[in-house]
Amino acid sequence: MPTYAPFAADDLATEFAATPPEPSQLDVAATLLTLLRDTTTEPRPDMQLEALTLAVAADLPVLLWGEPGIGKTAALTQLADSLDLPLTTVIASVHEPSDFSGLPVVGDDPAEQGIPMAPPDWAVRLVRAGRGLLFLDELSTAPPAVQAALLRLVLERRIGALQLPPEVRIVAAANPRSSAADGWELSPPLANRFVHLQWVHDPDVVVRGLGGTWPRAELPRLDPAALPHAVAFARRAVCGLLTARPTLVHRLPGTETRRGGPWPSPRSWEMAMRLVAFATAAGSSRDVLSMLVRGTIGDGPGLELLASIDRMDLPDPETLLADPESAELPERGDLRQAVLDGVVDAVRKRPEKTRWDAAWRLLVRAVETGAPDLVVVPATTLASLRQEDWEVPASIEALSGVVTLSRRADAARAKAGR
């Protein structure tokens, strides 16, 4: 009979140990999800992101407007990661007004101690952290009572008896009322506390992001040496415009929808001035500055402010009249037109033959260095300033191909003598 060796218990243990258990399908799914979430970032020009980070650096509340699914929440999550700020998300529409104004807590002796307003737990966590990014999501679905309770939080950073640290930044997101779930228009007081940015998708950014690489959000690099100049420049730009256009200081829109967006007020002008200073110190592009100021004081006043800023760098008309042959004129057509109009206006205010002749020589230089059609209106106006004893200068002959200036001058003179 064959003999069999006894089966030892140690051999059984070794056999089971050599065969690891198969992972569950949920574990495999979790691994796959981790790989899908494994993305990286890269420096990439992105005006939306640059405008957002500049407003965050300026410590101004920002409101991102965009259709559902456009990536507003994902952008804020990536922003918090890039800036190494703890992200606290609060869905405004699922909270009561008391969640933002504080809940009353009765102490031992209310008559002596009063009744303090206790803040919510997320506010306490922000204070303990000392810094963070507070994300108020779905703001356009918050009813008016909740919006009223948010006023003090957005402007003063206070919730009940609790003051948020200065290092906490506030960013909100909203869908247009037409695409929001049970949406409301923003109240004018709340809307006027935000920098409004329209958030749209860039197909190239989306495609590259889905491939695993998203743009990197970085705070703007402010030049320490440029800070005093940036402040002086911003104040001069805003104060100069409001001095010339005092009706722009406060202009409440007439419709409910427009009141829920950016509009000019002393508060929003102060915000716009801060953004101009930060954009100047950071060397931001005009397009980024345009997004910011139009999102703070509205399209019309914002464009007027940008035009005023452009004119601040224009050469002095008196300097150009003193040496027209060597004058350096702006390349941009609108700025060149503004310079030529300014020169003609200077001659109108102090009409002298030598200044009139110098203005003509400057128009000749403008034709030689830029688009000829830009001189037609200034030339027509300048021709109308001719006095009876002024001879037509020889420099006009160089402009004969653009406009028949001698006949315009005679016609303008005849019309003025009627």
Q: Across 99-108, 221-230, 403-412, which has the greatest mean pLDDT?
A: 221-230
Split at pLDDT 50, 70, 90, the class of 75 is confident
Q: Across 13-17, 43-47, 85-89, which has the greatest mean pLDDT?
A: 85-89
Whether 179 shows a pLDDT value over 70: the answer reads: no
Select from 297, 312, 327 the last residue of a domain. Answer: 312
Q: What is the pLDDT of residue 136?
A: 93
Whether 402 shows a pLDDT value over 80: the answer reads: no
Pick the more confident residue, 83 or 18. Answer: 83
Distance in angstroms (rounded) separating the CA atoms of residues 167 and 147 = 23
Whether 324 and 412 map to the same domain: the answer is yes
Q: What is the pLDDT of residue 206?
A: 84
Q: Are strands 132-137 and 87-91 parallel, antiparallel or unpaired?
A: parallel
Distance of CA 373 to the CA centre of its chain: 34
Domain range for 354 is: 317-416
Q: What is the pLDDT of residue 161?
A: 78
Whether 129 and 191 map to the same domain: the answer is yes
Whether 84 and 155 map to the same domain: the answer is yes
Mean pLDDT within 107-114: 62
* 298 inside domain: yes
Residue with tokens 């005849």: 414
Distance in angstroms (rounded) separating the CA atoms of residues 195 and 57 = 13
What is the per-residue DSSP string for 141-179? GS-HHHHHHHHHHHHH-EETTEEPPTTEEEEEEE--GGG
Q: Hey, what are 384's tokens?
A: 């109308």
Select from 312, 344, 376 the last residue of a domain. Answer: 312
- Cβ pair 199, 66 in contact under 8 A: yes
* 152 inside domain: yes
Q: Hey, what are 36's tokens?
A: 């899908």
Q: What is the pLDDT of residue 2?
A: 56
Q: Are strands 213-215 and 87-91 parallel, antiparallel or unpaired?
A: unpaired
* 349 inside domain: yes
Q: What is the pLDDT of residue 6?
A: 57
What are the tens digits of pLDDT across the range 280-320?
A: 999 999 999 999 999 999 999 999 999 889 888 788 888 89
What are the tens digits of pLDDT across the range 367-387?
A: 888 777 788 888 888 888 888
Find the CATH number of the domain harbouring 185. 3.40.50.300
Measuring CA to CA, which residue among 353, 401, 406, 341 is closest to residue 377? 341
- Cβ pair 161, 116 in contact under 8 A: yes
* 7 inside domain: no
| C-alpha pair distances (Å), 72 with each of 48, 49, 64, 139, 257 | 11, 11, 7, 12, 21
Q: What is the pLDDT of residue 225?
A: 93
* 22 inside domain: no
Of the chain, the end-to-end C-alpha distance in Å amounts to 144
Whether 204 and 121 map to the same domain: the answer is yes
What are the tens digits of pLDDT across the range 188-204?
A: 999 999 999 998 888 88
Q: Looking at the 3D structure of the chain, how many domains does it have?
A: 3
Select from 180, 215, 250 the last residue of a domain. Answer: 215
Prediction pTM value: 0.75
Whether 252 and 298 map to the same domain: the answer is yes
* 32 inside domain: no
Pick the more confident residue, 57 or 70. Answer: 57
Distance in angstroms (rounded) separating the CA atoms of residues 146 and 101 = 9
Measuring CA to CA, which residue among 289, 64, 394 is closest to residue 196? 64
Distance in angstroms (rounded) separating the CA atoms of residues 40 and 62 = 25
Mean pLDDT within 328-357: 88
Pick the more confident residue, 394 or 412. Answer: 394
Whether 160 and 144 map to the same domain: the answer is yes
